[in-house]
Structure 1
């Protein structure tokens, strides 16, 4: 007992060190700077500090075609110390390169990281989907844990603190680079495939400290909710082996129907810059060229954001509208057939319902972040996500037999987190404990129709 207590104490101290080191990194590291290189063999038992950028570990170089491997197959592993801006901390991270699938169904290499708990073998795993939200692969959690100093990579350290209660209870935390090897921001299905194959990989890889029979829960907010919901939706068909292990999924700030979200943030003061960022990510994911439809200004923004993170666009384009980004003939997104076809692939309302219990939280006070309180045909939201779409999705899941707890908070996207997170953590912990999943399906108010975008 004394040894266990000592390990927990050291672990708690390391979490405090993360907070201190993270704060120091924000004040002492220039944007775009990288940690000093520290090369190591891919199969080495341990690696110190950050690897070269781009780190060769994250690129598959084998002679066997990736398509010959099954989804979730382990390609390479390594063990690294948890590092914040080059400072190694007494936490161990196992990184796994694995075979996964991109938005176009092609075999690609994904990467995930396991933060090992301070006590023994983990029989419970939280697959935490990060809100790193970036168009640059170098901003993924895997890079953050090995010492990347870019501002875009820093969210993973904050998120480790947010879910530290699970680590202190002996859970393993798994954080994949959910946006895939080319950082396809907002391409929901790809997030789902990567998340599911990440879970497959860590259950197969050696040295992770995860028991072969471990149960798994999904957790994510905002960009992390994209991955969480798509993984829940795709699991029964794409990864039934993972679906059988899932105890539930908790998410907040949910993207349901991107065509509606574009209309909601259009002209807003803080979130408008996410509009072109999402266009870049989705076009990249599906291999489509939208530049012929863009205005000269739109092309400038499109080029500028190719490797942007969410931190670079929030508040940077106040009042930006779709009409400013496009030529006059395409002032309505429905006037671009290839856009219509692509954005409809991202509508969760047209996909099957999850078969595991869901906890869904959503804010409604978007005016706190500079988005008008209501918009015709859209209604209220949290500044970037549409509350009426989330309600309808929850009701749809309920109708299909999924146990759902749905919450609404009268706050914005950022300010809803302190209300959502404790509820989500408590709800997920109860699922691991085997407590029957509650439901408030009968009290969820009607929302918006989740109809696909119709071409003009």
Structure 2
């Protein structure tokens, strides 16, 4: 959720930076985020009405959405993307001191340094280091690690989308049905919920590809949506889902 606030603050800063950047305070703007980037963009879209009501986005594109972080942890564990779990847990612990304390208490000493490697290396190394590993084996309480109140409090605050407001700008969301990082059912449910709250969403579910390839194959429709908004073409005033 804090990433959403930071994103909105960055737009505020850009719009008041004209003396340095020549960006007009009347500029039109949109967001586009994929996978981890969609976390910040979706949170920003939810928070905008209350956190930054003076901002008026003409559109937002969200790809490879991650509506429920705990579901992602269970989905990617022991798989190709298990490293994202270690990266995410370390990142959240960095932002929540109470979670950091709990993490330090339950990491197995002999493998604690290995688990914290993502703090000092890049994502590619994180992926290769943890590929096919069981993340829960790094904790002395195993799978119960994520069930502790301190972990659930953080995940409920910053790991579940749809709880902090209804996006007011038109959205284009695209997702691979076979996404192996975040189950498509979570995105389906989020879209249904936000639409019931009055959001305007064009949602494309892609039957071909998975999380990584969708970032490329879905970009054409994403760019078309963005281009249309900048060209002044009104976005549809209702929700629509296409499975292609």
TM beyond 0.5 = yes
Counterpart in the other structure of 1:201 = 13
Are residue 390 (structure 1) and residue 201 (structure 2) matched? no
Give matches, 1:237-386, under 5 Å: 237-242=50-55, 245-268=56-79, 270-288=80-98, 289=101, 290-327=103-140, 329-346=141-158, 347-365=160-178, 382-386=179-183
In structure 1, distance between residues paired with 2:111 and 2:191: 35
The higher radius of gyration belongs to 1
In structure 2, distance between residues paired with 1:279 and 1:256: 16
Q: Deviations over 1:200-230 (max 9, x none)?
A: 1111111312222111111111121111111
| Structure 1: gaps of 5 or more residues | 1-188, 366-381, 446-456
In structure 1, distance between residues paired with 2:217 and 2:22: 32
Pair 1:304–1:353, CA change in 2 (3 A) = same
Counterpart in the other structure of 1:172 = none
Instruction: Indicate the SS of the match to 1:437.
Output: coil
Instruction: Indicate the SS of the match to 1:254.
Output: coil
Partners of 1:406 and 1:440 within 8 A in 2: no
Task: Tell me how far 1:259 sits from its aligned partner.
Answer: 0.8
Instruction: Indicate the SS of the match to 1:213.
Output: coil
TM-score (norm 1): 0.49
Partners of 1:294 and 1:325 within 8 A in 2: yes
Pair 1:439–1:342, CA change in 2 (3 A) = same
Partners of 1:252 and 1:361 within 8 A in 2: yes
| Structure 2: gaps of 5 or more residues | none
1:403 aligned residue (179, 196, 200):
200
Pair 1:404–1:199, CA change in 2 (3 A) = same
Q: Deviations over 1:75-109 (max 9, x none)?
A: xxxxxxxxxxxxxxxxxxxxxxxxxxxxxxxxxxx
2:3 aligned residue (184, 187, 191):
191
Give matches, 1:54-73, under 5 Å: none
Give matches, 1:89-104, under 5 Å: none
Please list every run of at least 4 consecutive aligned residues from structure 1 whose deviation after the TM superposition is greater than 3 angstroms: 439-445
Instruction: Indicate the SS of the match to 2:28.
Output: strand
1:441 aligned residue (216, 235, 239):
239
Task: Tell me how far 1:440 sits from its aligned partner.
Answer: 7.1
Counterpart in the other structure of 1:428 = 226
Task: Tell me how far 1:315 sits from its aligned partner.
Answer: 3.2
Pair 1:350–1:336, CA change in 2 (3 A) = same
Instruction: Indicate the SS of the match to 1:438.
Output: coil
How many residue pairs were aligned?
A: 237
Partners of 1:267 and 1:319 within 8 A in 2: yes
Partners of 2:176 and 2:205 within 8 A in 1: yes
Instruction: Indicate the SS of the match to 1:407.
Output: strand
More helix by share: 2
More strand by share: 1
In structure 1, distance between residues paired with 2:242 and 2:97: 38
In structure 2, distance between residues paired with 1:389 and 1:440: 21
Partners of 1:395 and 1:444 within 8 A in 2: no
Are residue 226 (structure 1) and residue 39 (structure 2) matched? yes
Q: Deviations over 1:150-206 (max 9, x none)?
A: xxxxxxxxxxxxxxxxxxxxxxxxxxxxxxxxxxxxxxx121111111111111111
Instruction: Indicate the SS of the match to 2:60.
Output: strand
In structure 1, distance between residues paired with 2:169 and 2:143: 41
Partners of 1:405 and 1:439 within 8 A in 2: no
Pair 1:198–1:281, CA change in 2 (3 A) = same
Partners of 1:254 and 1:362 within 8 A in 2: yes
In structure 2, distance between residues paired with 1:442 and 1:229: 18
Partners of 1:250 and 1:428 within 8 A in 2: yes
Task: Tell me how far 1:330 sits from its aligned partner.
Answer: 4.0
